[in-house]
Amino acid sequence: MKDRLDFYNSYKDEHRIFNNRVQRFWAIFGVLFSIYTLIILNDVWLFLLTLAMMTTIGAWGLNIVSGFAGQISLAHGAFIGIGTYTAFVVGGNIGSSVLSYGLDMAIWLPLSGIVPMLFGILISPVTSKLKGLNLGLFSIGIVYFVLHIFQNFRTVTGGSGLGRKSPDFVLLGFNFENGITIGNLVLNESNLIALFTFLILILSGFGVKNIARTKTGRAFFSIRDRDIAAEALGVDLLRYKGTAYAISSFYAGICGALLFTFTGGVEPNQFNFVYSVTFIAIVIIGGAGTVLGPLFGSFFFILMPTVIQEIIHFFGLFEQSSFLNLAQIERLVFGIFIIVFLIFEPRGLWGIWFRLRNYFKAWPFSY
Amino acid sequence: MSFFIQVFIEGIALGAVYSLVALGFVIIFKATDVLSFAQPALAALGAGFICYFATEAGINFWLSLIIGIVLTGLTGLFIERTVLRQMVGEPVFSVAVITIGVDILIRTFLDDWIGDEPRFLGDSFTSYGNFGSFSIGDFNFKYLEMAGLFVAFVVILLLNLFFKKSRYGLAMLATSFDQETALAQGINVGRVFGLAWFIGGLLAAIAGFVFTGGFNTLTQLSFVLALRALPAVVIGGLDSIPGAIVGSLIIGVTQSLAGYYQYPIEDYFDINLGLGFSTVAPYIIMFFILLVKPEGLFGTKEVERV
């Protein structure tokens, strides 16, 4: 029986996070390989991988509210912005012209999740009344409203066009800038940030998986599939929609705090409508409603432009840039990928991965 | 008081132009169940076509206006045939996101062509009267705004006639009522979808011209002006043609009142509403209306079965 990977004796076995030994093996291998990669790398690719990991956290947030609970949210960028500014105010270096308290990351990182979460809970009585496209349009309103506040609340955000600097990565009194030396191994700031992000990524990944496999997740799925039927079966719509928004905003806040602390600063117009759409595109390209999908989507989305650039440089195309420049090609590819994935592969990269996996699972009897 | 009336009239004129974009949203949504986020891009594209033919190709302005509007309509038709026809029956939200993808594609090419300098559309509205405006008594009118108001009025009348008298208007109403039943009655639903997008493109292009003509130049950010019609559609109800018009007028008047009275109000209450508050004010109205009537002022309430 041990060789039958899909054979379970109980529901409990089936609902484990890694429910067979092949998955456990690959998970451990993946974690070790990632840590190794993040230690030895030290160039633009490390920067991009860190960005992709941080983006993944935000994409998971959107996936919880839109992919799991089926509540359309075009306001994810706004929540990310709220989290970012919470982190910047609480952690920002004292002495700058904007409001800052200079506290430790152990304080600002959780706070940057909690404040957007409270905001998400605050609007949830309204959002849970709306559904479908009206909800999406309402959230567009939120984007513009929050953006307006960001642009004008100069004491916090530095104002439109100026922005403000980020806090430093100082965890429990240890500044990441100093780096660590263990024997021959020198870990500098970027490695440390990458490893720290990886830790947060794994924690939030387990969080998403646990939501998906427990009561809350099943309630979300039932709301997504048919909210009236879910209500008839005893799912408290107001409570679970609120929960979905709360968790989603928490992830968004953490993502924003890490992302813009990493990039060094932020300008209010960053959190515009297009930024929210970017996250929707990531979730759709990755595969909405799945745990791994947003991970694939984020890595694809962050790494793709650089890969395209490398290809263009390698073949020496567009050197004179007669028609479109690189940024425009990126946007073009972004738009094309949204359309192509929605038409031809609605389950996104996860769908491709799922089919590949099943092909090799049944090999040599695949069909 | 005369100041208030002046501001109010400007608001109505602005709302009339918004109603062109809003009608495009509503007609496409009613006929095909698609919320088209590509509408702002189509408006900018229309202005771009007109600008190209009038200034670069050297065609007579009025002729290039017509060519530009028709070409934008055809672009709408093309989008429907190539992209959205594949998505019939998919969830509404996926389709809405796909139109965002289309919007990004169109604007990438358009921005490349527009460049960094603002472009004049080659119309002669700037040369009329005093800075493109004229006065009657105390009141000051802009030629372009009045033209927009007039065009919006005519277009709404024509659309009304189209829906009441023509076969295809009736077919479109039937399709919006129930696609499958319409199909069973022998209506070519595919053609109706294409027609809806064609009309949506035409309306967007006309609005795009009024937004960017005269002293308002065409820039890479012009599409934002058309995006502001979105709250109008929500206020009026996504599937209601009168709603789109009323919603647009509300939005236009709100925006213009908020723009002119922001500083007196700030002074009086000693608060700071922030720069550009007038563009956010419509969204605040939208919030309140969604709270009271989630389906919009004129929208049909959805009957849901388990």
| Nearest residue on chain A to B115, alpha-carbon basis | A324
Please tell me the distance in Å from B10's CA to the nearest CA on chain A: 23
Which regions of A144-287 does DSSP assign to beta strands (E)? 164-165, 170-171, 174-175, 180-182, 185-187, 265-266
| Nearest residue on chain B to A225, alpha-carbon basis | B306
Above 70 in pLDDT, residue A124?
yes
Q: Using a CB-CB distance cutoff of 8 angstroms, which residues of chain A are in contact with residue B93?
A: 72, 132-133, 136
Enter the pTM of the model: 0.87
Long-range CB contacts for residues A207-215, cutoff 8 Å, separation at least 24: A207/A247, A208/A60, A208/A63, A208/A64, A208/A291, A209/A17, A209/A291, A210/A17, A211/A64, A211/A68, A211/A247, A212/A68, A212/A291, A213/A15, A213/A17
Q: Using a CB-CB distance cutoff of 8 angstroms, which residues of chain B are in contact with residue A332?
A: 104-105, 108
Q: Using a CB-CB distance cutoff of 8 angstroms, which residues of chain A are in contact with residue B34?
A: none
Percentage above 70 pLDDT, chain A: 95
Residue A205: how many CB atoms within 10 A of its CB? 18
User: Greatest CA separation found in chain B?
Assistant: 64
Average pLDDT over chain A reads: 84
Please, which pLDDT band fits residue A59 given cuts at 50, 70 and 90? very high
User: If you average pLDDT over residues A104-118, what whole number do you get?
Assistant: 88
Looking at the complex, does the CB of residue A327 fall below 8 Å from at least one CB of chain B? Answer: no
Please, which pLDDT band fits residue A255 given cuts at 50, 70 and 90? very high
Distance CA A99, CA A102 (A): 10
The residue with greater pLDDT, A5 or B185, is B185
What is the ipTM metric for this complex? 0.84
Distance CA A167, CA A94 (A): 10
Across the interface, of A132, A138, A144, the residue whose CB is closest to B280 is A144
- A131-190: per-residue pLDDT in tens? 777 788 888 888 988 888 888 887 777 777 777 877 877 777 777 777 777 777 777 888
Q: What is the pLDDT along chain B (306 residues), one digit of tens a residue?
A: 777 888 888 888 888 888 888 888 888 888 888 888 888 899 999 988 888 888 888 788 888 888 889 999 999 999 988 888 888 877 777 888 888 889 988 988 888 888 788 888 777 776 666 666 777 777 777 777 788 888 888 888 888 888 888 888 888 888 888 888 888 888 888 888 898 999 999 999 988 888 887 777 788 787 888 888 888 888 888 888 888 888 899 988 988 888 888 777 777 777 777 777 888 888 888 888 888 887 778 877 777 666
Is B102 in Cβ contact with A339 (below 8 Å)? yes
User: If you average pLDDT over residues A92-112, what whole number do you get?
Assistant: 80
Across the interface, of A136, A151, A342, the residue whose CB is closest to B98 is A342
Is B287 in Cβ contact with A141 (below 8 Å)? yes
Looking at the complex, does the CB of residue A133 fall below 8 Å from at least one CB of chain B? Answer: yes
The residue with greater pLDDT, A340 or B217, is A340
**Inter-residue contact A12 to A214 (CB < 8 Å):** no
Give the model's pLDDT for residue A247.
Answer: 92
Give the model's pLDDT for residue A46.
Answer: 87
| Nearest residue on chain A to B34, alpha-carbon basis | A133
How buried is residue A94: exposed, middle or buried, by Cβ count under 10 Å (0-12/13-18/19+)?
exposed
| Nearest residue on chain A to B104, alpha-carbon basis | A335
| Nearest residue on chain B to A137, alpha-carbon basis | B234
Nearest CA among B18, B290, B146, B122 for reference residue A140? B290
Q: Using a CB-CB distance cutoff of 8 angstroms, which residues of chain B are in contact with residue A334?
A: 104
Please tell me the distance in Å from B7's CA to the nearest CA on chain A: 23
| Nearest residue on chain B to A332, alpha-carbon basis | B105
- A227-242: per-residue pLDDT in tens? 888 888 888 888 888 8
User: If you average pLDDT over residues A16-37, what whole number do you get?
Assistant: 84
Is B283 in Cβ contact with A144 (below 8 Å)? yes
Q: Using a CB-CB distance cutoff of 8 angstroms, which residues of chain A are in contact with residue B104?
A: 331-332, 334-335, 338
Interchain CB contacts (distance < 8 Å): A and B: 121
Above 70 in pLDDT, residue A317?
no
Q: Using a CB-CB distance cutoff of 8 angstroms, which residues of chain A are in contact with residue B274?
A: 148-149, 151-153
B36, B92, B98: best mutation site toward chain A, by most A Cβ within 10 Å? Answer: B98
Is B275 in Cβ contact with A152 (below 8 Å)? yes
